[in-house]
A and B are shown apart, each in its own frame.
Chain A
Amino acid sequence: MATLSLFPSDPVQWAWGIVLFWLALGFASLLLQGSQRLLTRLLFPLGALGALAIAGVGAVGLSAPASSIVLPIGLPDLPFHLRLDALSAFFMVLLGGVAFGITVYASGYFRSMAAGPLALLSLWYHLFLAGMVTVLLADDAYAFMVAWEVMALSSYFLVTTDHKVPEIRSAGFLYLLIAHVGAVSLLLTFGVLQGGHGDYTFDTMRLAEMTPFWASAAFLLALFGFGAKAGLVPMHVWLPEAHPAAPSPVSALMSGVMLKTAIYGLLRVTFDLLNIQIGWWGTLALALGLITALYGVIFAAVQSDMKRLLAWSSIENIGVIIAAFGLTLIFYTDGKGALAALTLTALLYHALNHAFFKGLLFVGTGSVLHATGVRHMGHLGGLMRFMPWTAWLTLIGALALAGLPPLNGFVSEWLLLQAFLFTPGLTQPYLNMVIPVAAAAVALAAALAAYVMVKFYGVVFLGQPRDPVLHHAHEAGWAERLGMLWLAAGCVLLGLFPAQVIEWLTPVVRLLTNQTLLNDGSWLMLAPVSAERASYAPLIFFAVVAVVLGLTVLWVRRVYHGRVRRSDPWDCGYPEQDARMQDSAEGFGQPIRQIFEVFMKIERETPDPFSRTPRYRGASLDKLWFILYAPIARVADWLSQQAGRLQHGRIQWYLIYSFVTLIFLLIFTTR
C-alpha cells in the first residue's frame, strides 16, 4: 500500500491520476464557457486521450498483481480506499476502449451546440467518466457509494441536457428515482456485508463470516440495487425513457458502459465480497435474466423510435448477461469450476461486445438525428444513399448485435450456448431439465434480435426516403466517422480474434472462479473445453466466405459479363408506388405485436372510414408499467398526502413535535 506520490508507479495510481485529469477537464470547461471551439477541439479530444489511457492502465493492470492506495480524502477515520485488481482492470479496458470512440465522436457531434450549455455538458460528461472509473476502483463502501452517486447524478444532468422539453424532464426524473431506489438498496447491501464490524472497507467484508441467511439477504439486495441500474425486469422502465432523451453520445456511454458498472458491482459483491455462494441465487438470476432478455427483445421489435428500440435491445442484452451470471453461479456452487469459468468468460465477453456494438449503434443514430432531426423511424428511410459512411459502419454494429458470424456478438452467444450444452451431471436433477429450456430461451432471444436489427437497419437506412427532407441529409463529419470507425473496428476484431481475447480474460476468470479456461485450439481457433467437443475459427470462416465471394465475382464477370441497366423498380408491375407504400416501423413490428400481444397494453386509434385525411395511431405500451408501477405511485402519493397532514407550517407545532420526540427518546434511553 502506498500513498499518492507525484510520480505514479502502480496502475492504480495512474488510474487515479486520470480520474483527476478528467475532473480537471470538467472544471476547466466551466472556464471555457465562451469558446465553443476550444471545448470541442481541445477538451473532448483530451478527454478521449484520458479514456485511451484508462484502457491502457486496465490492460496493464489485468496481468499485474492487485495494487491499492489510500487517499487522504473522505471522512476523518474513513479515507478513500482504492484498489485495482483484474476484475476492475477488465472493466476499465471496456470503459476506456468504448469511451475513447464515443468521446472522439462527441468532439465532432457537439460542434453544433452553443458554447454555454456545451460547457455544462462537458463538465457532467467528464464527471460521469471519472465517477464510473472510481466505481471500478473503490475499495470501501463509502468511496463506492460516493462514486456511484457521482455517476448517477452526472448522468442525470446529461440526460436532461434538453431540459426545456417536458418529456425529457420527466424521463430524467424517472431515471433519478429508480437510480436512488437502487442506491438505497446498495447501501443496505453494504450494511449487511460489513457484518456488525462497523468497518466498511472491502477488505474486512471479504473476511466477514456470514450465515446463509444474511448472505442471501446481501445478495438479494445487491441483485435489486444493481439490477435497477442495469435495467433488469421489472426495474427496467427508466431505460426506454432515459436513453432516447439523452444526447446520442451520452446514450451510447450510458448503454454501453454505465450498465456494465452494475454488472461489475454484481460480480464484485457475489464472487469477491461474499464468502459463500448459494445455488438458488443462480437459478433466480438465470430466470430473471431470461425473462429480461425475452421481454426486452419483444418490446424492441415493436418500437418505432430508433433510440427507444436500441434501449429495449440493451435491456435484452443485460438480460443475457444476467442469465450468464446466474449460470456461472449455478456451476460454481455445484463444484463445476471449469464450466463456471466458461460461462464467466461468455459473460465478460458479452459485456465487452455489447459495449462496442451498442455504443456504435447509438452514435450511429446520433448521426442520423443530426442529419435529419428525426428520431421516429416512420419519417426516415433510404439514408444509405446520403450518408454511406454512417450507414456501412452502423451495418457492422447491427450485424454484430444480431449475433451473426464472424462479428463479435456471435462469439459470446456461441460461448454461452456451449456453456448451456455442457450442463449434464449437475447435482440438482431439476436443473438438468430446466437448463435446456433456458438454452432455448437464449436462442429465441438471439433470433428475435436479428428480427429487430433487420427492422432497425432496413427502415432507417434502406428503402426510399419517407420524408422529402431526407434528400438533404448530410454525412457525418470526420471526427464522428473516426469515432464510429474505432467502435466498428472493435466489433470486427473482437469477432475475429476470440482465442486471444479469451486468453486475455484469463486473470479475471481466475480471480473469480479459481479456474482457468484453457483454449484447446491454436491461435486461429476457439475451442474452450476440447477441440473434440466444440470449436469455431472465425478467421478461417471469414477467409472462406471472402474467397468464395471473390471467386464468384471473378467467375461471373469472366465467363459471362457485368452489364447493368438502370430502370425504375419493378414491384410486380404496379406503376404508382411511393415511399409510403413501404413497411413502416409499426408495420414491420406488427407480426411480433400480434404474437406477443399478452405482454403489451395496446392503444389503437383507427380513423373514421369516411375521413378524408385518415390517421392511424397505435402504441404498444409496457404492461408492467400499469400493473406494477402505477399502483406503487398511487400508494406513494397517498402516503405523502398522509404525511402532509403533519405539516402545518406553524412553528408551534414543529416545536411540539421536537418536544414529544425528545420526551419519547428520553423514556426510551433510560429504560
Chain B
Amino acid sequence: MSTGILLQLAQTLLAILLAPLLMGWVNQCRAWLQGRSAPPITQPYRTLRKLFHKDAVIAHHASPLFRFAPYMIFACMALAAGIVPTLANDLPFSPAADVIALVGIFALARVFLALAAMDIGTSFGTLGARREMLVSFLAEPALLMVFFTASLISQSTELPVIVETLAHREFALYPSLAFAAVAFWMISVAENARIPVDNPTTHLELTMIHEAMILEYSARHLALIEWAVALKLFTYSALGIALFLPWGIAEQGELGMLPLALVAMVAKLLAGGAVLAFLETISAKVRLFRAPEFLGTAFLLAVLGMLIHFMLEV
C-alpha cells in the first residue's frame, strides 16, 4: 500500500514535470517536418519560467473566478495525470475516480476555462468559449463511448483493471478496439486543440478556439494554463497508450519491472508525439462548422465500436 502511494505520487510528479518535454518534442518534430530549424526540446520550460517571472496583468473588472480558474484547471489536470496508469498499474488512489470520473475531470477543467474566458467580456473570449463548448459537446460523449467499449471488454470502469485485462488478452486485432482507437485519436486531436480542429500556433480570429479563450491571461496564470495544456496532451497520450498499447506496464508487485516500463513508456510517447506531428503536418485545419462533422464521425465510430463488440465479441 505504502509503496503504491509512493508510486502514485512519483508517477504524478513525473507526469507534471515531463509533460512540457512532450510538448517540446512534438514542436521539434513539427519544425523538422516543415523544414524549419527546431527550437530546443526544453523550450516549453523556458517559456514557463519566463511567464512565471512576469507581473500578471489583469483587466480592471476581472472577477475572482478569472484568477481562480488557472489554478483549478491545473489541479484538475494534475489529478487526471495521476489517475492514468503510465508506469505502473498498482495505483491505490485510482479507485477514487474511474473513467467516467476522468471524463468528469476534463469537463470540470473545460467548463472553468470557458467561464473564465467569458469573464472579461471581450468578443474573442466569448467566441472561444462558445467554440470550445461546441467541440466538447460531441467530443465528451465520444470519449465516454470509447471508454465504454473498453469497459465492456474488461467488465470494469476502473482504469487499472481495464489496462490489466487489455494487456493480458492474446494478441489479435479486435474490431471494436480498432474502431475505438480511431475514434480516440480523433477525440484527442480535438480536445487538445490540434490540427485539423484547432491550431495551437495561430491567433487568427476566424480559426482560433483554445487560444481565443486564453487571450486575456498573462504571466503566472498563463503559465499554469499552458502547463495544464501540456499535461492534458500528456494524459491523453498516456490514456491512448494504456488503452490500446498497454504492453510493458509494470503490474501489481512487479517493482523490478519499473525501469523497463519507463523505457517502454518514453519510447511509446516519443513515437506517439512524432506521429501526431506528422499527421498535423500533412493535414489542413477544417472550417469551424466542419469540426462538428469531424467529431460526429468520431462519436459514431465509438458507438459502432461498442455495437461491434456486442455483435462479434460477446
If the complex has contacts A448-B137, A544-B93, are A566 and B101 also in contact, measured as CB distance less than 8 A?
no
- Decide: B95 and A535 in contact? CB cutoff 8 A: yes
- Note all chain B residues with C-beta closer than 8 A to A464: 61, 120-121
Interface centre among B74, B100, B125, B155 (most CB of A within 10 A): B100
In the complex, B53 has a CB within 8 A of chain A:
yes
A536's nearest neighbour on chain B, judged by CB, is B101
What's the tally of chain B residues with a CB closer than 8 Å to chain A? 80
- Note all chain A residues with C-beta closer than 8 A to B72: 545, 549
Residue A549 contacts which of B71, B104, B155, B215 (CB distance < 8 angstroms)? B71
Mark each residue of chain A from 385 to 420: 1 if its CB lies under 8 Å from any CB of chain B, else 0.
100000100010001001111000010011001100
In the complex, B264 has a CB within 8 A of chain A:
no
In whole angstroms, how far apart are the Cα atoms of A655 and B139 in the complex? 71
In whole angstroms, how far apart are the Cα atoms of A611 and B311 in the complex? 61
B residues 60-105 touching A (CB-CB < 8 Å) = 60-61, 63, 65, 71-72, 74-76, 78-79, 82, 93, 95-98, 100-101, 104-105
Q: Shortest CB–CB separation between residue A387 and chain B, in angstroms?
A: 11
What's the tally of chain A residues with a CB closer than 8 Å to chain B? 86
In whole angstroms, how far apart are the Cα atoms of A381 and B205 in the complex? 23
In the complex, A569 has a CB within 8 A of chain B:
yes
In the complex, A568 has a CB within 8 A of chain B:
yes
Residue B137 contacts which of A403, A451, A534 (CB distance < 8 angstroms)? A451
- Decide: A462 and B119 in contact? CB cutoff 8 A: yes
Q: Shortest 10 CB-CB distances between A and B: which pairs?
A: A463-B121, A458-B118, A464-B121, A443-B141, A583-B126, A571-B122, A540-B96, A548-B75, A537-B96, A569-B59
- Decide: A565 and B56 in contact? CB cutoff 8 A: yes
In the complex, B133 has a CB within 8 A of chain A:
yes
In the complex, A421 has a CB within 8 A of chain B:
yes
Residue B127 contacts which of A453, A527, A553, A583 (CB distance < 8 angstroms)? A583
- Note all chain B residues with C-beta closer than 8 A to A577: 122-123
- Decide: A566 and B58 in contact? CB cutoff 8 A: yes
In the complex, A661 has a CB within 8 A of chain B:
no
Q: What are 15 residue pairs bridging A and B, where the CB atoms are less than 8 Å apart in the complex?
A: A385-B61, A436-B148, A436-B152, A436-B310, A437-B303, A439-B148, A448-B137, A454-B129, A464-B120, A532-B158, A535-B96, A548-B79, A549-B75, A552-B224, A561-B55
In the complex, A165 has a CB within 8 A of chain B:
no
Residue A534 contacts which of B79, B123, B156, B299 (CB distance < 8 angstroms)? B156
In the complex, B244 has a CB within 8 A of chain A:
no
If the complex has contacts A563-B55, A579-B121, are A433 and B310 also in contact, measured as CB distance less than 8 A?
yes
If the complex has contacts A439-B148, A587-B130, are A569 and B122 also in contact, measured as CB distance less than 8 A?
yes
- Decide: A565 and B303 in contact? CB cutoff 8 A: no
If the complex has contacts A382-B121, A565-B55, A572-B203, are A525 and B95 also in contact, measured as CB distance less than 8 A?
yes
Q: Shortest CB–CB separation between residue A658 and chain B, in angstroms?
A: 64
In whole angstroms, how far apart are the Cα atoms of A451 and B138 in the complex? 11
If the complex has contacts A385-B63, A399-B111, are A414 and B127 also in contact, measured as CB distance less than 8 A?
no
In whole angstroms, how far apart are the Cα atoms of A339 and B72 in the complex? 36
In the complex, B314 has a CB within 8 A of chain A:
yes
- Note all chain B residues with C-beta closer than 8 A to A531: 95
- Note all chain B residues with C-beta closer than 8 A to A455: 130, 133
Interface centre among A381, A535, A559 (most CB of B within 10 A): A535
- Decide: B156 and A457 in contact? CB cutoff 8 A: no
In the complex, B239 has a CB within 8 A of chain A:
no
A contact residues vs B (CB 8 Å cutoff) = 381-382, 384-385, 391, 395, 399, 402-405, 410, 413-414, 417-418, 421, 424, 432-433, 436-437, 439-440, 443-444, 446-448, 450-451, 453-455, 457-459, 462-464, 521, 525, 527, 531-537, 540-541, 544-546, 548-549, 552-553, 556, 559-561, 563-572, 574, 577, 579, 581-583, 587-588, 590-592, 594-595
B144's nearest neighbour on chain A, judged by CB, is A443
Given contacts A414-B100, A421-B151, 10 further A-B contacts (CB under 8 A): A447-B138, A458-B114, A458-B118, A464-B61, A536-B98, A541-B97, A553-B71, A564-B56, A565-B58, A587-B126
In the complex, B243 has a CB within 8 A of chain A:
no
A567's nearest neighbour on chain B, judged by CB, is B57
In the complex, B258 has a CB within 8 A of chain A:
no
B contact residues vs A (CB 8 Å cutoff) = 52-53, 55-61, 63, 65, 71-72, 74-76, 78-79, 82, 93, 95-98, 100-101, 104-105, 107-108, 110-111, 114-115, 118-127, 129-131, 133-134, 136-138, 140-141, 144-145, 148, 151-152, 155-158, 161, 203, 205, 215-216, 220, 224, 289, 292, 299, 302-303, 306-307, 310-311, 314
In whole angstroms, how far apart are the Cα atoms of A443 and B140 in the complex? 8
- Note all chain A residues with C-beta closer than 8 A to B76: 545
Q: Shortest CB–CB separation between residue A388 and chain B, in angstroms?
A: 8
A384's nearest neighbour on chain B, judged by CB, is B63
- Note all chain B residues with C-beta closer than 8 A to A424: 152, 310, 314
- Note all chain A residues with C-beta closer than 8 A to B56: 563-565
In whole angstroms, how far apart are the Cα atoms of A284 and B203 in the complex? 49
- Note all chain A residues with C-beta closer than 8 A to B82: 544
Q: How many inter-chain residue pairs (CB < 8 Å) link A and B? A: 262
- Decide: B115 and A458 in contact? CB cutoff 8 A: yes
- Decide: A462 and B65 in contact? CB cutoff 8 A: yes
- Decide: A417 and B129 in contact? CB cutoff 8 A: no
- Decide: B95 and A402 in contact? CB cutoff 8 A: no
- Decide: A405 and B104 in contact? CB cutoff 8 A: yes
B77's nearest neighbour on chain A, judged by CB, is A548
In whole angstroms, how far apart are the Cα atoms of A462 and B112 in the complex? 12
- Note all chain B residues with C-beta closer than 8 A to A595: 292
In whole angstroms, how far apart are the Cα atoms of A446 and B55 in the complex? 39
Residue B144 contacts which of A385, A417, A548, A591 (CB distance < 8 angstroms)? A417
Residue A533 contacts which of B53, B145, B155 (CB distance < 8 angstroms)? B155
- Note all chain A residues with C-beta closer than 8 A to B118: 454, 458-459, 462-463, 582-583
- Decide: B71 and A571 in contact? CB cutoff 8 A: no
In whole angstroms, how far apart are the Cα atoms of A521 and B98 in the complex? 14
- Decide: B124 and A525 in contact? CB cutoff 8 A: no
In whole angstroms, how far apart are the Cα atoms of A464 and B59 in the complex? 11
Q: Shortest CB–CB separation between residue A523 and chain B, in angstroms?
A: 14
- Decide: A447 and B101 in contact? CB cutoff 8 A: no
- Note all chain B residues with C-beta closer than 8 A to A563: 55-56
Q: Shortest CB–CB separation between residue A433 and chain B, in angstroms?
A: 6
In whole angstroms, how far apart are the Cα atoms of A588 and B131 in the complex? 9
In whole angstroms, how far apart are the Cα atoms of A569 and B130 in the complex? 19
- Note all chain A residues with C-beta closer than 8 A to B115: 454, 457-458, 462
In whole angstroms, how far apart are the Cα atoms of A591 and B133 in the complex? 10
If the complex has contacts A402-B111, A549-B71, are A432 and B104 also in contact, measured as CB distance less than 8 A?
no
Residue B121 contacts which of A381, A565, A587 (CB distance < 8 angstroms)? A381
In whole angstroms, how far apart are the Cα atoms of A421 and B141 in the complex? 14
- Decide: A458 and B126 in contact? CB cutoff 8 A: yes
- Decide: A571 and B127 in contact? CB cutoff 8 A: no
- Decide: B104 and A410 in contact? CB cutoff 8 A: yes
- Decide: A560 and B121 in contact? CB cutoff 8 A: no
- Note all chain B residues with C-beta closer than 8 A to A546: 75
- Decide: B111 and A564 in contact? CB cutoff 8 A: no
In whole angstroms, how far apart are the Cα atoms of A176 and B151 in the complex? 47
- Decide: A458 and B75 in contact? CB cutoff 8 A: no
Interface centre among A413, A421, A592 (most CB of B within 10 A): A421
- Note all chain B residues with C-beta closer than 8 A to A521: 95
In whole angstroms, how far apart are the Cα atoms of A410 and B111 in the complex? 14
- Decide: A572 and B79 in contact? CB cutoff 8 A: no
In whole angstroms, how far apart are the Cα atoms of A454 and B302 in the complex? 26
Q: Shortest CB–CB separation between residue B191 and chain A, in angstroms?
A: 12
- Decide: B96 and A588 in contact? CB cutoff 8 A: no
Interface centre among B137, B156, B311 (most CB of A within 10 A): B137
Q: Shortest CB–CB separation between residue B144 and chain A, in angstroms?
A: 5
If the complex has contacts A447-B138, A454-B133, A534-B156, are A463 and B126 also in contact, measured as CB distance less than 8 A?
yes
Residue B133 contacts which of A417, A451, A553 (CB distance < 8 angstroms)? A451
- Decide: B58 and A564 in contact? CB cutoff 8 A: yes
- Decide: A405 and B108 in contact? CB cutoff 8 A: yes
In whole angstroms, how far apart are the Cα atoms of A582 and B130 in the complex? 11
In whole angstroms, how far apart are the Cα atoms of A403 and B136 in the complex? 14
If the complex has contacts A568-B59, A579-B121, are A594 and B289 also in contact, measured as CB distance less than 8 A?
yes
